[in-house]
Chain A
Amino acid sequence: MRRALLAVAAVVAAAVARPGVAAAQRPDVLRVGAAGPYTNVTAAVAAAHPHDTVVVEPGVYREETVVIDRPLTLLGREGAVLDGEGRRGLVVVAADSVSVLGLTLRDTGITFVDDRAALRVERVRFCHIEGNRIENAFFGIYLANAGDCVVRNNVLIAHGDRESRAGNGIHLWYSARVTIEDNRVEGHRDGIYFEFVEDSRVRGNRSQDNLRYGLHFMFSDGCSYLRNSFRRNGAGVAVMYTRGVVMEGNDFDDNRGGAAFGLLLKEITDSRIAGNRFHRNSVGIHAEGANRLEVVENDFVANGWAVQVLANSEESSFRRNNFVGNSFDVSTNSRRTYSTFEDNYWDRYRGYDRDRDGTGDVPFRPVRLFSLVVEQNEPALVLQRSFLVTLLDLAESVLPMLTPDNLVDARPALNPIATPWRPS
């Protein structure tokens, strides 16, 4: 009896430990490297079962574009490089639940026929792209019709020379619920580009020295942009035709030039811009047809024009911002304004506070007469800071005749406001 029981136990144990069954159940690791078993990525992907991991050992791989058509993880070891030799894109993700991690993708070359990308993600969900380095790509990471993806900690460096010969760094088209986090993008046409994207988050990215915009989005409702840094981009940041935008804690720095804007808002509605810093931009915020914006607790420091609000912007409110050391604080193109300014700190304010409640007793008019002069006659800009101009501004502020009557901060703060922006 005892022996019979033992025999049964042995048979059961053998059945559980049968190697074939175990391999089918457990995700496998497939190695790609000069030493084998696979010598190119495509072969390993073709041999992989769903949810396997393809590990790419260090080395330079020159092969046809890798198409990942089943859910798996493509993991590059440090020094694993896919080289496009200036002729092709490198990886296409064509299945749900694919991860691409730690690879270096380089040299896609430039094409004017299609949007060639180092890494293209098309019509899939749940992709995860992390820790990759993309060098000299036309488009870097290209998501089209993608959903629920994460793009994190990638470094994209290109050396575009002309806008027409460069592609975007991280490019999203018709996508939803994507997280773009802690990436660095340099030298592309637009650093981060969104078109028809919904409910996505862009956080902690650094986008700098791009040829056109650091961030560029259109028709992308309900997205938020938090603690990013946009620096020295050819034209700054431009956002258009969108509602429900949240921009908080970003740094718009050093975007200078004839058509450069820290933040260009065109047809933006019901959005919140809070706790950002605008530093040394030709124009801090340029608002055109921007309605019901809340611009709160931002720092505008050392910009050419801190805020330009055109008359087609309605019901926006600028509250508790700091305006320090700007050449011009506010300018507009009309004698009326439909936006309100309240409780801001203006370093030009020369009023007094007799009841000592921290707000000035005399309203402040942020539009200088000289800014109207410059508006009509731009070369007159070289007279900025001349004694004559100071006198003109003074005369106008005592007896306003030409500047917008209702563009007034009725409650200017006497001391700089503690804003939440901190260098990240």
Chain B
Amino acid sequence: MSTTRKVFRYQTRNVVRSRALIGYALFFLATTLGLVRLGGGVERVLPSLANVVLLAVPLVSLLVATIFLYDGRPFTELLLSQPVGRRSLFAGLYLGLTLPLIGAFLLGVGLPLASSGATQEVPGQAVLLLLSGTLLTAVFTAIGFVVAFTLGDAARGLGAALLLWLVLTVVYDGVVLIASHAFAAYPLERPMLVAMVLNPVDLARVLILIAVDASALLGYTGAVFQDFFGKGWGLVGAAVSLTAWIALPYAWALRRFTRMDF
């Protein structure tokens, strides 16, 4: 465990000092402040912010994770030449990357929101936004680990990361939309919800939808949606699935890492 802590401490220091992380925090700080100042009421700010979070958090988490792993590859190899358990080394690397990113996100979005009074006016919505951003960060750094430990070449790794981001944020929804049109004659509520669960970006979006668009979602006449969005288990289900989404790529990347021949 102490290995984890040491690696974590080193990695955190390394990440926090990087310009990328500071830029990331400043980006959210500027965006949120700008929206709060110019965007009008709380009803307006949170949805706009949600759009930004859903785009930027996966992209940045994915890229930062892969870049740092490729950059730190020699150091990782050096550590591995020491009597160090791979699992604890992996955990240290992961936490050292993820926690600073989460910190930057919470700082950049949370501070201006709290100062604008949004956290008091619509605490539920603000908390859900912060929660979904936090979970998304953890999911996408884990996915970054999968990419970095699967593809040896940094250029190919980064390309794959970008492609993955594009697929999960845009292409996937397009496919779902087209599919839902093609099968419009069938009861689609359950398949649609399953499709949302299979994509972490959509899951995070559903969390935000529950907070922001509940009125519209409850206006839909289907019983499955009524239950899902009306009775609270949609919220719990989405949050739990999104947490499970952290474990899946983490386990995969860990498996690669422990069996990898450096």
Mark A residues whose CB is within 8 Å of B: 256-260, 280-283, 301-305, 324-325, 327-328, 347, 373, 376-391, 416
Contact = CB atoms under 8 A, between A and B. Distances in A.
Contacts of A390: 51
Contacts of A382: 192-193, 196, 202, 206, 209, 217, 225
Nearest to B190: A379
Contact of B215 (A304, A379, A388): A304
B189 to A, nearest CB: 5
Contacts of A257: 218-219, 226
Question: Which 6 pairs between the two chains have the least Cβ-Cβ distance?
Answer: A325-B43, A304-B216, A282-B219, A327-B216, A304-B215, A258-B221
18 contacts: A256-B215, A256-B218, A257-B218, A258-B219, A281-B215, A282-B215, A282-B218, A301-B43, A325-B41, A328-B216, A373-B177, A379-B189, A379-B225, A380-B180, A380-B181, A381-B216, A383-B176, A388-B169
A258 B205 CA distance: 22
Contacts of A304: 213, 215-219
A381 B217 contact: yes
B40 interface: yes
A327 B177 contact: no
Interface of B: 40-41, 43-44, 47, 50-51, 54-55, 169-170, 173-174, 176-177, 180-181, 184, 188-189, 192-193, 196, 202, 205-206, 208-209, 212-222, 225-226
Contacts of B41: 301, 324-325
Contacts, number: 121
A187 to B, nearest CB: 20
B170 A325 contact: no
Contacts of A258: 218-222, 226
A27 to B, nearest CB: 55
Contacts of B169: 386-388
B176 to A, nearest CB: 7
Nearest to A371: B216
B131 to A, nearest CB: 16
Most chain A CB within a 10 A radius of its CB, from B184, B212, B213: B213
B48 to A, nearest CB: 9
A71 to B, nearest CB: 50
Contact of A380 (B177, B202, B206, B218): B177
Contact of A259 (B181, B189, B221): B221
Given A258-B219, A305-B216, A379-B192, 12 more contacts: A260-B219, A304-B218, A305-B219, A324-B44, A377-B188, A380-B180, A382-B209, A383-B176, A386-B54, A388-B170, A389-B173, A391-B170
A114 to B, nearest CB: 34
Nearest to B191: A379
B215 A280 contact: yes
